[in-house]
Amino acid sequence: MSWVTKTLSSTLGKKLLMALTGLFLILFLVVHLIGNLQLLLPDNGESFNLYAESMATNPLIKVVSIGNFAFIILHVIYSILLTRHNKKSRPIGYAETAASTNSAWSSRNMGILGTLILIFLLVHLKGFYYEIKFGEVPMVDYAGIMYKNVFAIVAAAYSNVFYVVFYVISMGFLGFHLSHGFASAFQTLGLNHVKYSPLIQKVGIGFSILIPALFALIPIVMYIQSV
Ligand code: HEM
């Protein structure tokens, strides 16, 4: 067994992989959010459509996109492996638990929160990614060049109140997942220190509120604009 397979099959290796893939996905969320906020510019989707076109045609972004999907799959698989390992190590729970006083609700429910986010992601990818890549997308003319009107697809989706509610609730789950995941990833990587840990905790909480809130704002504003 090579050292790579040995490391990845150890508990620490699995935790490291969860932390590294999680941090990459956090980075993806920031980039994805900045791109998506252009949906709110008052230009009828032009900036967003030009941005979507540049992303779809950039070879580097294509590589990052494959890496992104691979990291999502690895993050899910390793979370299942770790949960199974933890259950096997302690088939009978602690005789006395004071879980609610010893740990935050989100840290005890990362698996459930992760599953709900995965459901959101599948619906999201079907509605946007799949439709934009393989569905019939209306075209729009900017200075004589035809572009996919990705904005129209997103605007149509967010004119449906059920879709908007689904997004907003899912962003709540994402916030709770991040509130534990952010600091936990740093801890696994050994980047905890008496001096810096409180700061990492605070940045993690701020991040887990701000990023999902801004993601949720997009469907809310677009729904209001549609009525
Ligand atoms: C208001 C919120 C969001 C909007 C408007 C939005 C919009 C989009 C659109 C339009 C695409 C297709 C891009 C293309 O193929 O041209 C996409 C892809 C994607 N979105 Fe979102 N998104 C949102 C939130 C999220 C969240 C919260 C996550 C993760 C939890 C996420 C994960 C993804 C992933 C993984 C892809 C595929 C990206 C790739 O090609 O690598 N999105 N999103």
State yes or no: pLDDT of 98 exceeds 80.
no
Residue identified by tokens 């620490």 is 12
Residues 6+ apart with CB under 8 A from 117: 170, 173, 174, 177
Expressed in angstroms and rounded, the spacing between residue 28 Cα and the centre of ligand 1 is 10
CA of 32 to the centre of ligand 1 (A): 7
Residues contacting 16, CB < 8 A, separation 6+ = 7, 188, 189
31 C-alpha vs ligand 1 centroid, how far in Å?
Answer: 10
Domain tally, the chain: 1
What residue type is 158 in one-letter code?
Y
Q: Beta partners for 169?
A: none
The structure's pTM equals 0.92
Among 128, 153, 178, say which to mutate for ligand 1: greatest number of ligand atoms within 8 Å of CB. 128
The boundaries of the domain holding residue 182 are: 3-226
CA distance 140 to 145: 8
pLDDT in tens, 35-91: 999 999 999 999 999 999 999 999 999 999 999 999 999 999 999 998 888 777 665
CA distances for 10 relative to 82, 98, 157, angstroms:
10, 29, 43
Q: From the alpha carbon of 52, which atom of ligand 1 is closest?
A: 16
Return contacts of 126-129, CB within 8 angstroms, 24+ apart.
127/157, 127/163, 128/153, 128/154, 128/157
Q: Is 124 touching ligand 1 by the criterion CB < 6 Å?
A: yes
The pLDDT tens digits of the residues spanning 107-146 come to 888 999 999 999 999 999 999 999 999 999 999 999 999 9
| Reported confidence tier of residue 99, pLDDT bands at 50, 70, 90 | low
CATH code assigned at 49 = 1.20.1300.10
Strands 145-148 and 139-142: antiparallel
Task: Check residue 152 and give its pLDDT.
Answer: 98
Q: How far is the CA of 6 from the centre of ligand 1 (A)?
A: 34
Residue 104 has pLDDT above 90, yes or no: no
Residue 56 Cβ < 6 Å to ligand 1: yes
8 C-beta closer than 6 A to ligand 1: no
What are the tokens at 89? 């190590």
What DSSP element (H or E) covers 41?
Answer: none
